[in-house]
Structure 1
Amino acid sequence: MKKNLLFGLAAILASFQYTSAQERKAPSYPLITHNTYFSVWSNSDKLAESTTTHWTGADQSLIGIINVDGTDYRFLGKEPEQYKTILSASDERSYPVKYTTTKPDGDWTTLQYVPTDWKDGVSPIGDSHDDKLKWTTKDIWIRRVFTIAQTDDINKLLLKLSWDDNIEVSLNGEQIFDRVGVSKGFEMTPIDKSKLKVGDNIIAMHVVNTGGGSRADVGLVDKEKPSIAKELEVADQKSVNINATQTVYRFTAGKVDLDLTFTSPLLLSDLNLLSRPVSYITYKVKSNDGKTHDVKVFFSASTNLAVNQSKQPVTASKYSTASLSLLKAGTDEQPILQKNGDDVRIDWGYVYVAAPKTTGATQFITNANESVNAFRKGSVETTVTQGTGLALNTVIPFGKVGPAGTSKFIELGYDDIFSMQYFKQNLRPWWNNSGKETIESQLTKAATEYPAVVQKCAAFNKSMYADAFKAGGKKYADLCVLAYRQSIAAHILVKSPQGEILWFSKENFSGGFVNTVDVTYPSAPLYLIYNPKLMQGMLNGIFYFSESGKFDHKFAAHDLGSYPHANGQTYGEGMPVEESGNMIILTAAICKAQGSPAYAKLHWKTLSTWVDYLVKEGFDPANQLCTDDFAGHLARNANLSVKAIVGIGCYAQMAESLGDKSAAKKYRTIAKEMVGRWMKLAGDKDHYTLTFENPGSWSQKYNLVWDKVLGLDLFPQSVYDTETKFYLTKQNEFGLPLDSRKTYTKSDWILWTATFAPTRKEFDALVDPVYKYALETPTRVPLSDWHETTNGKQTGFQARSVIGGYFMKELHDKLQAKK
Structure 2
Amino acid sequence: MNIMRQKLTMLLLGAASVLSSCSTQIERHEKNELRAPAYPLVTIDPYTSAWSFTDNLYDGSVKHWTGKDFPLIGVAKVDGQLYRFLGMEELELRPLVKTSEQGTWTGKYTIEKPADGWQNADFDDSAWKEGEGAFGTKENETAAKTQWGEEFIWVRRVADIQEDLTGKNVYLEYSHDDDVIIYINGIKVVDTGNACKKHVQVKLSDEVIASLKKGDNLIAAYCNNRGANGLLDFGLLVELDDSRYFGQTATQKSVDVQPMQTYYTFTCGPVDLDLTFTAPMFMDNLDLMSRPVNYISYEVASNDGKKHEVEIYFEVSPQWALDLPHQESVADSFTEGDLLFLRTGSRNQEILKKKGDDVRIDWGHFYLAAEKENSTYAIGDGKKMRKSFTENKLEAPSSEGYDKLALVRSLGETNKASGHLLIGYDDIYSIQYFGENLRPYWNRTGNETIVSQFQKAEKEYDTQMKNCAAFDKKLMQEATEAGGRKYAELCALAYRQALAAHKLVEAPNGDLVFLSKENFSNGSIGTVDLTYPGAPLLLLYNPELVKATMNHIFYYSESGKWTKPFAAHDVGTYPMANGQTYGGDMPIEESGNMVVLAAAIAAMEGNAEYAKKHWETLTTWTDYLVEYGLDPENQLCTDDFAGHFAHNANLSIKAIMGIASYGYLADMLGKKDVAEKYTQKAKDMAVEWEKMANDGDHYRLTFDKPGTWSQKYNLVWDKLLNLQVFPAKIAETEIPYYLTKQNKYGLPLDNRETYTKTDWIMWTATLANDKATFEKFIDPVYLFMNETPNRVPMSDWVFTDAPNQRGFQARSVVGGYFIKMLEGKLNNSNK
- Which band: TM-score by shorter chain? over 0.9
Structure 2 SS opposite 1:233: coil
The runs of 5 or more residues in structure 2 that have no matched partner are: 1-26
Q: What is the DSSP-based 3-state SS (H/G/I as helix, E as strand, rest coil) of the residue aligned with 1:393?
A: strand
TM superposition shift of 1:815: 0.7
What amino acid is aligned across from residue 289 of structure 2 in structure 1? Answer: L
- CA RMSD, Structure 1 to Structure 2 (Å): 1.9
Quote the residue 2:468 is aligned against.
457
Are residues 1:343 and 2:343 paired? no
Moved more, 234-243 or 128-137: 128-137
Q: Which residue of 1 aligns with 2:67?
A: 57
Task: Measure how far apart 1:140 and its partner are.
Answer: 4.0
Distance in 2 between the 1:65 and 1:174 partners? 41
> Contact 2:385 / 2:406 at 8 angstroms: preserved in 1?
yes
CA contact (8 A) 2:380 2:399 kept: yes
Amino acid across the alignment from 2:86: L
Contact between 2:172 and 2:204, CA under 8 Å: does it hold in 1? Answer: yes
Partner in structure 1 of residue 17 of structure 2: none
User: Taking structure 2 as the reference length, what is the TM-score of the superposition?
Assistant: 0.93
Aligned residue in 2 for 1:263: 278
Amino acid at match of 2:233: D
Are positions 1:204 and 2:215 aligned together?
Answer: no
Instruction: After superposition, give the CA deviation of every residue in 1:449-489 in whole Å (9 maximum; x if it has no partner).
Output: 11112122112111211221221121111111011001101
1:630 is matched with: 641
1:362-377 equivalences under 5 Å are 362-377=376-391
1:384 is aligned to 398
Which residue is equivalent to 2:173? 160
Is residue 789 from structure 1 mapped to residue 800 from structure 2 by the alignment? yes
Q: Who is 1:238 aligned against?
A: 253
Whether the aligned pair in 2 keeps the contact of 1:213 and 1:342 (CA below 8 Å) is no
Change (3 A) 1:150 1:84: same
How far the C-alpha of 1:365 sits from its partner, in A, is: 1.2
User: Matched residue pairs, number?
Assistant: 798
1:71 CA drift (Å): 0.9
2:211 corresponds to which residue?
A: 195
Q: Which residue of 1 aligns with 2:558?
A: 547
SS of alignment partner, residue 58 of structure 2:
helix
Q: Is the counterpart of residue 28 in structure 1 residue 41 in structure 2?
A: no
Distance of 2:412 and 2:104 partners within structure 1 = 51
2:684 pairs with 1:669: no
Residue 97 of structure 1: how far off its partner (Å) = 3.3
Distance 2:288 2:352 in 1: 24
Give 1:18's aligned residue.
Answer: 30
Alpha carbons 2:356, 2:573 under 8 Å: kept: yes
1:444 deviates by 1.3
- SS at 2:238's partner residue? strand
Q: State the match for 1:748 in structure 2.
A: 759
Could you tell me which residue of structure 2 aligns to residue 728 of structure 1?
Answer: 739
Letter in 1 for 2:386: V
Aligned pair in 2 of structure 1 residues 789, 278: CA closer, same or farther (>3 Å)? same
1:221 aligns with 2:234: no
Q: Give the CA deviation at 1:205.
A: 2.5
Instruction: Answer yes or no: is the 8 Å Cα contact 1:361–1:395 preserved in 2.
Output: yes
Say which SS state the counterpart of residue 734 (structure 1) adopts.
coil
Letter in 1 for 2:594: M
SS in 2 for 1:185: strand
Residue correspondence of structure 1 range 571-590 to structure 2 within 5 A: 571-590=582-601
Residue type at the aligned position of 1:459: A
**Using a 3 Å threshold, how does the CA distance of structure 1 residues 243 and 540 change in structure 2: closer, same or farther?**
same
CA offsets, 1:562-585, max 9 Å, x none?
A: 111111111111111111100110
Task: Check 1:19–1:567 CA distance in 2 against 1; reply closer, same or farther (3 A cut).
Answer: closer
Structure 2 CA distance for partners of 1:286 and 1:130, relative to 1, 3 Å:
same
Aligned to 1:306: 321
Residues 1:718 and 2:729 aligned together: yes
Distance of aligned partners of 1:760 and 1:351 in 2 relative to their CA distance in 1, 3 Å threshold: same
Alignment match, 1:326: 341
Q: Work out whether 1:76 is the aligned partner of 2:86.
A: yes
Shift of 1:102: 5.2
1:705 equivalent to 2:747? Answer: no
The question of whether the paired residues in 2 share the 8 Å contact of 1:213 and 1:512 is answered with no
Match of 1:272 among 287, 295, 315: 287
Deviation at 1:551, TM superposition (A): 1.1
Q: Could you tell me how far 1:385 is from its partner in structure 2?
A: 6.3
Q: Distance in 2 between matches of 1:589 and 1:672?
A: 19
The aligned counterpart of 2:298 is: 283
Alpha carbons 1:91, 1:311 under 8 Å: kept: no
Match of residue 748 from structure 2:
737
Q: Is the 8 A contact 1:748 1:806 kept in 2?
A: yes
> Match of 1:273, as an amino acid?
L
C-alpha deviation, 1:412, in angstroms: 0.7
Shift of residue 110, structure 1, vs aligned partner: 4.3
Cα pair 1:145 1:202 within 8 Å, conserved: yes
1:324/1:120 CA distance change after superposition, 3 Å: same
Q: Note if contact 1:158-1:190 (Cα within 8 Å) is conserved in structure 2.
A: yes
CA contact (8 A) 1:63 1:76 kept: yes
Q: Which residue of 1 aligns with 2:264?
A: 249
Distance in 2 (CA, whole Å) between partners of 1:215 and 1:315 is 33
Q: TM-score, normalised by structure 1?
A: 0.94
Greater RCO, 1 or 2 (C-alpha within 8 Å, sep 6+): 2
**CA deviation map 1:375-412 (0-9, x unaligned):** 21223223236513x3211100111211xx22111111
- Shift of the alpha carbon at 1:24? 2.8
2:15 aligns with none
Please say which of residues 581-590 and 119-128 is displaced more in the overlay.
119-128
Report deviation, 1:33.
0.5
For the residues of structure 2 that align with 1:42 and 1:370, how far apart are their CA atoms? 25
Measure, in 2, the Cα distance between the counterparts of 1:100 and 1:598.
57
User: Is the CA contact 2:131–2:146 (under 8 Å) kept in the aligned structure 1?
Assistant: no
> What is the CA distance between 1:719 and its match in structure 2?
1.0
Aligned twin of 1:6? none
2:536 counterpart SS class? helix
Q: How far apart are the structure 2 equivalents of 1:332 and 1:115? A: 44
Paired position in structure 1 for 2:11: none
Residues 434/617 of structure 1: CA separation in 2 closer, same or farther (3 Å cut): same
2:145 to 106, 111, 133: 133
Deviation at 1:811, TM superposition (A): 0.4
Aligned to 1:4: none
Provide, for residues 710-759 of structure 1, a one-character-per-residue CA deviation record: whole Å limited to 9, x for no partner.
Answer: 11111121111110111111111111111111111111111111111022
Distance 1:793 1:346 in 2: 29
Residues of 1 paired with 2:135 and 2:450: CA distance? 34
CA shift, 1:131, in A, is 4.4
